[in-house]
Amino acid sequence: MSYVFSIEEFSTFDGPGVRTTVFLKGCPLRCEWCHNPEGQRAESEWVKSPNGCLHCGLCERFGVKRADGTIMLTQASAAICPRNLVRLSGEDYTPEELCAKLMKNAEILKSMGGGVTFSGGEPL
């Protein structure tokens, strides 16, 4: 099983040609400059998009306080957010499910000199 937090189809940034990029969750590093921090934990989690946030604090009020003092967002956080910015990040795929999803565009990607890139998290 692999936790995937995003599948970007028809990408032109992650390798030659037109590609499908699969972003995996689970990275042991905690780089300050991480472009996709929602990919660090190797499990599904509730995350908040910072773009458009009102900073009202409702999502945190309905979250759970961890031992280290940080707030873990919850489904209740998602339900209360006035801008709908809290979402579940991470979908579990079996290798067969992921392969079936990726194969639907295989011929198009091949004809455009592309393919599939596994990124985010720690793909190896």
Question: What domains sit in the chain, N to C, each tagged with a CATH number?
Answer: 1-40+90-124 (no CATH), 45-89 (3.30.70)
- Residues of the chain by 3-state class (helix, strand, coil), percent to 5: 25, 30, 50
DSSP state of 38: G
Distance, in Å, from the CA atom of 38 to the CA atom of 54, rounded to the nearest integer, reads 20
How sure is the predictor about 124, in pLDDT bands with cuts at 50, 70 and 90? low
Q: What is the pLDDT of residue 87?
A: 93
Mean pLDDT of the chain: 91
Using the predicted structure, report yes or no on whether residue 60 has a pLDDT greater than 90.
yes
Greater confidence, 36 or 61?
61
pLDDT in tens, 65-100: 999 988 999 999 999 999 999 999 999 999 999 999
